[in-house]
A and B are shown apart, each in its own frame.
Chain A
Amino acid sequence: MISMFTFLLMSTIATSALFFTGCSGGADTKAIGSVADAAMKVYVAPGAKDEFYDFASGGFSGQVAVIGLPSGRLIRVIPVFSMDPEKAWGFSEETKPMLMTSHGFIPWDDSHHPEFSMNDGVPDGRFLFINANNTPRIARIDLTDFRTKEILEIPNSAGNHSSPFTTENSEYVVAGTRFSLPIPNEDVSIETYSEKFKGTLSFIKVDKATGRMSLAFQIVMPGFDYDLAHAGKGPSHDWIFFTCYNTERANTMKEINASQNDKDFIVGINWKRCEELAAQGKGQVVNVSYAHNIYNDETHTASSAIEKNVRILSPADTKGNVFYMPTPKSPHGCDIDPSGEYIVGGGKLATVIPVLSFSKMLTAIQDQKFDKEIDGVPVLNYKAILAGEVEKPGLGPLHTEFDGKGFAYTSMFVSSEIVKWSLKDYKVVDRVPTYYSIGHLGIPGGDTKKPWGKYVIAYNKITKDRFLPTGPELFHAAQLYDITGEKMKLLLDFPTIGEPHYAQACPADLIMKNSKKIYQLAQNKHPYATKKEADARVVRKGNEVHVYMTTIRSHFAPDNIEGIKVGDKVYWHLTNLEQDWDVPHGFALLGANNSELLIMPGETCTLLWEPKTPGVYPFYCTDFCSALHQEMQGYVRVSPSGSSTALTWNARK
């Protein structure tokens, strides 16, 4: 239902677009057909809201981008693994512990795969998990306030790529090694790769009530590259699947040497049984060191602890519960259809898309249809587990998502297209070009039991010539396609942050209804909170100075401080007394070597300042808060070290 007004507006847009087509660089009408039709499908009128939230990994930005669909509008960047001076993430005293690891403080990472917490195979709208690829970690983001609340480091791991995929009810999230390592990691020749290097598949238990993660156990595997994963659902609920390549166990020039075998594998693991084995005390507990960082909602403060143990299960310990399923060739994506029966491997170098059958896999295991064993892990017979192959799909199949109507959509990197095929007969029914070199793709709920099969989004690796040029580096872009009809239709190009790999989307209603508007001041248990202006004060403890400051539209209390000395460590603890939605106050201080603070309503944040030179330093609110925002400022006086300037501030009663 669209109003006459909207129709006229669209017609105008269409007319203009068609007009510009006649000039230089106009709309790609060959791909989109009618501009008016496409525009109508993505236009979200002022005041109206998008239908879906899309959470796109930031890749080398280390963050998560929140995008509204179908408009493609960026609505939030959630800092996760990288410092963000705008939000003081990793700069404020409260958030510094979130970026601690066993290697010390790490200001950056590469985030690839966002994954919703699930209940009965569908997103429950509570949490989003995402991996750090480089220094292996998994983060948990709270979707009530779009903040990272927990980061868990993964020991015995490198290249944390097949991560953090979750089981059907988020009993576990998993983390697999793309880079095998000597385990325990030690000083050995790289030439010993094939003999000494191992992969690990980690199972991280997620607490049902709180979402808290804990490393339950790790399975040690042959030294292949474990690339991507997805858990089973429905009949395959107890199982999880990982693709792996480099079954050649090459340690140099993998580009050639890891591409020798015609088939590599998808690993099938009965996690439910492995969980029981771990509970029975199978395997061994080994000494490791990994950071576990938790943000406390009541104190608005994170803490970081080093954990020391992990239980390791070997193939011998897990016998009968871990199997290799041959899959052509160098498989990347590992995707399970909504019914839980079909396991689709995206073989980067394969000429077909193999569709493996879960029920056939169970039969083959029962009938012991094994071709061989690798390091104690049985290799099932390919023909015995194959449901079918999609023939001539295109070049370079990577990832597959599902629309819930019997169709699968596979991204084809080399031939730069999305291919739609039927799960009934494995026949290709449609294909559309992407601009250019698609990596991941996403359908809202496209890896769940109940996809919202309205759009497919292509996350492309190359953007050239689609937007205004910006020098040698162009941002990565995404493209939105309508998949409600028989034919896929391109609707929209939109920019993203960093390099988006996987992304997951869900209906906005699922998240909106739980969205926090403020932090309750009454529940603020920050040890340095100042809950009323009358309590604002400055306290000296040796060379440490604690400023208990409040903000409200539009003043700081106190706003004049004297008696700070060179050599002091000044902790500015700001509490925002506002209790109204969307009214943060900012705090910026001349010469501060870290960042600003943005303090949300009811929150307390701390900035450390170590003044080096005597003088008077102004501070001000950075977030335009009212008509008198420009007046929201103050001064702090810094005297030479050892001077007798008394510590004073202007208190208000």
Chain B
Amino acid sequence: MKSVVGKLLVLIASVSVILGTLPACTAEKESDDDDSDKSEQEISDEKSYYKIKHVDISPKIDVKMASSGKEIFETKCSACHKYDERYVGPPLGKVTKRRTPEYVMNMIMYTETMLDNDDTVKSLIQTFMLRMPNQNVTEQDARNVLEHLRDYAQKN
């Protein structure tokens, strides 16, 4: 019985990898044309390795934060991430529809921790063959980038 379950898990895992999804978050999908109309993930997902445990977001976009975040995005992120197409890294135009705010914040600020612990990120490394650089973004700047990405996702 045990071995059957084991084989089944392996099978699920393999299928997940092939589909670009992961067992822990089967609803998530990493593709260039991910335009599913999922509403923004508002349930915080507290993973043990997250350094940022909870991010407060309001349904309404803070325009000032978003505009400041856009500038940071252009300087520190856009050399590798476009909004709507795969580039060096995955497109981020709709990332807030795939990922929680906590995921986004931790990925920006605590990149190495995420690269080493998060199964979604580990699978993305296999796709993109590159560990995302830590760009030394402050918490406020990271929060602004998140706001910009939320803004972009809502408008596009």
Whether B78 pairs with A534 at a CB distance below 8 angstroms is yes
The answer, yes or no, to whether A552 is at the interface (CB within 8 Å) is yes
Whether B130 pairs with A577 at a CB distance below 8 angstroms is no
Closest beta carbon of chain B to A519's beta carbon, Å? 11
The one of A533, A550, A554, A580 that contacts B135, using a Cβ cutoff of 8 Å: A580
Interface size on B, residues (CB 8 A): 15
Whether B75 pairs with A532 at a CB distance below 8 angstroms is yes
Q: Which residue of A lies closest to B87 (CB)?
A: A652
Q: Which residue of B lies closest to A577 (CB)?
A: B79
The answer, yes or no, to whether B1 is at the interface (CB within 8 Å) is no
Known contacts A532-B74, A578-B135, A579-B136; A552 and B130 CB within 8 A of each other: no
The answer, yes or no, to whether A300 is at the interface (CB within 8 Å) is no
The answer, yes or no, to whether B113 is at the interface (CB within 8 Å) is no
The answer, yes or no, to whether A302 is at the interface (CB within 8 Å) is no
Q: Is the interface of A mostly helix, strand, loop or mixed?
A: loop
Interface centre among B129, B131, B133, B134 (most CB of A within 10 A): B133
Whether A557 pairs with B79 at a CB distance below 8 angstroms is yes
What 0/1 pattern do residues 123 to 140 of B give for CB contact below 8 A with A? 000000111011111000
The answer, yes or no, to whether A531 is at the interface (CB within 8 Å) is yes
Interface centre among B74, B75, B80 (most CB of A within 10 A): B75
Whether B135 pairs with A626 at a CB distance below 8 angstroms is no
A552 to B136, CA, bound (A): 14
What 0/1 pattern do residues 69 to 94 of B give for CB contact below 8 A with A? 00000111011100000001000000
The answer, yes or no, to whether A518 is at the interface (CB within 8 Å) is yes
Query: What are the residues of chain A within 8 A of B131 when measuring CB–CB?
Result: 626-627
The one of A517, A534, A577, A583 that contacts B76, using a Cβ cutoff of 8 Å: A577
Query: What are the residues of chain B within 8 A of A577 when measuring CB–CB?
Result: 75-76, 79
Query: Chain A interface residue count: which class?
Result: 20 to 34
The answer, yes or no, to whether A521 is at the interface (CB within 8 Å) is yes
The answer, yes or no, to whether A209 is at the interface (CB within 8 Å) is no
Interface residues of B in 34-74 (CB under 8 A from A): 74
Q: Which residue of A lies closest to B111 (CB)?
A: A580
A554 to B133, CA, bound (A): 10
Query: What are the residues of chain A within 8 A of B137 when measuring CB–CB?
Result: 579
Closest beta carbon of chain A to B79's beta carbon, Å? 4
The answer, yes or no, to whether A553 is at the interface (CB within 8 Å) is yes
Closest beta carbon of chain B to A630's beta carbon, Å? 12
User: With contacts defined as CB atoms under 8 Å apart, how many contacts are there between chain A and chain B in the complex?
Assistant: 51
Query: What are the residues of chain B within 8 A of A518 when measuring CB–CB?
Result: 136
Whether B133 pairs with A553 at a CB distance below 8 angstroms is yes
Whether A534 pairs with B133 at a CB distance below 8 angstroms is no
The answer, yes or no, to whether A628 is at the interface (CB within 8 Å) is yes
Query: What are the residues of chain A within 8 A of B134 when measuring CB–CB?
Result: 579-580
Known contacts A554-B130, A627-B129, A628-B129; A532 and B79 CB within 8 A of each other: yes
Query: What are the residues of chain B within 8 A of A626 when measuring CB–CB?
Result: 130-131
Query: What are the residues of chain A within 8 A of B76 when measuring CB–CB?
Result: 521, 577, 579
Whether B74 pairs with A627 at a CB distance below 8 angstroms is no
Closest beta carbon of chain A to B83's beta carbon, Å? 11
Q: Is the interface of B mostly helix, strand, loop or mixed?
A: loop
Interface centre among A531, A532, A557 (most CB of B within 10 A): A532
Closest beta carbon of chain B to A517's beta carbon, Å? 8
Query: What are the residues of chain B within 8 A of A476 when measuring CB–CB?
Result: none
Whether A534 pairs with B135 at a CB distance below 8 angstroms is no
The answer, yes or no, to whether A555 is at the interface (CB within 8 Å) is yes
A553 to B80, CA, bound (A): 8
Query: What are the residues of chain A within 8 A of B75 when measuring CB–CB?
Result: 521-522, 531-532, 577
Query: What are the residues of chain A within 8 A of B130 when measuring CB–CB?
Result: 553-554, 626-628
Whether B79 pairs with A580 at a CB distance below 8 angstroms is no
Query: What are the residues of chain B within 8 A of A522 when measuring CB–CB?
Result: 75
Query: What are the residues of chain B within 8 A of A553 when measuring CB–CB?
Result: 80, 88, 130, 133
A553 to B115, CA, bound (A): 16
Query: What are the residues of chain B within 8 A of A552 when measuring CB–CB?
Result: 79-80, 88, 133
Whether B136 pairs with A534 at a CB distance below 8 angstroms is no
Q: Which residue of A lies closest to B74 (CB)?
A: A532
Q: Which residue of B lies closest to A531 (CB)?
A: B75
Whether A580 pairs with B88 at a CB distance below 8 angstroms is no
Known contacts A534-B74, A555-B88; A550 and B133 CB within 8 A of each other: no
A555 to B137, CA, bound (A): 21
Closest beta carbon of chain B to A606's beta carbon, Å? 20
Known contacts A521-B76, A532-B74; A580 and B133 CB within 8 A of each other: yes
Interface residues of B in 116-156 (CB under 8 A from A): 129-131, 133-137
Query: What are the residues of chain B within 8 A of A579 when measuring CB–CB?
Result: 76, 133-137
The one of B79, B88, B129 that contacts A550, using a Cβ cutoff of 8 Å: B79
Interface residues of A in 428-487 (CB under 8 A from B): none
A627 to B76, CA, bound (A): 20
Whether B79 pairs with A583 at a CB distance below 8 angstroms is no
Closest beta carbon of chain A to B10's beta carbon, Å? 26
Closest beta carbon of chain B to A410's beta carbon, Å? 49
Query: What are the residues of chain A within 8 A of B133 when measuring CB–CB?
Result: 552-553, 578-580, 583
A and B contact pairs by CB, cutoff 8 A, 19 listed: A517-B136, A521-B75, A522-B75, A532-B74, A533-B78, A534-B74, A552-B79, A552-B80, A552-B88, A552-B133, A553-B133, A554-B88, A554-B130, A555-B88, A557-B79, A577-B76, A578-B135, A626-B130, A626-B131
Q: 14 more A-B contacts (CB under 8 A) besides A534-B78, A626-B131?
A: A518-B136, A521-B75, A522-B75, A531-B75, A532-B78, A532-B79, A534-B74, A555-B88, A557-B79, A577-B75, A579-B76, A580-B134, A580-B136, A627-B131
Chain B residues close to A by CB (< 8 Å): 74-76, 78-80, 88, 129-131, 133-137
Q: Which are the 10 A-B pairs with shortest beta-carbon distances?
A: A579-B136, A533-B79, A552-B79, A579-B135, A580-B134, A532-B74, A580-B133, A532-B75, A627-B129, A577-B79
